[in-house]
Amino acid sequence: MVVGSEAYQAALVFYQSVKMAAAQDIPGAKAVYEELKTRFPQGSKRRNPSRKVQATRSPVSAKTLGFYSEGNGF
**C-alpha distances in Å from residue 1, one per residue of 6, 7, 14, 15, 45:** 9, 10, 20, 21, 21
| Residue 25 belongs to some domain of the structure | yes
| Residue 16 belongs to some domain of the structure | yes
Query: What pLDDT was estimated at residue 16?
Result: 93
| Residue 45 belongs to some domain of the structure | no
| Residue 7 belongs to some domain of the structure | yes
The pLDDT-based confidence of 54 (bands split at 50, 70, 90) is: low
Single pTM value for the model: 0.53
| Residue 50 belongs to some domain of the structure | no
Range of the structural domain that residue 12 is part of: 2-36
pLDDT digits (tens, 9 = 90+) for 3-40: 788 998 999 999 999 999 999 999 999 999 999 999 88
Residue 60 pLDDT greater than 70, yes or no: no
| Residue 74 belongs to some domain of the structure | no
The total number of structural domains in the chain stands at: 1
State the Cα–Cα distance between residues 20 and 40, nearest whole angstrom: 15
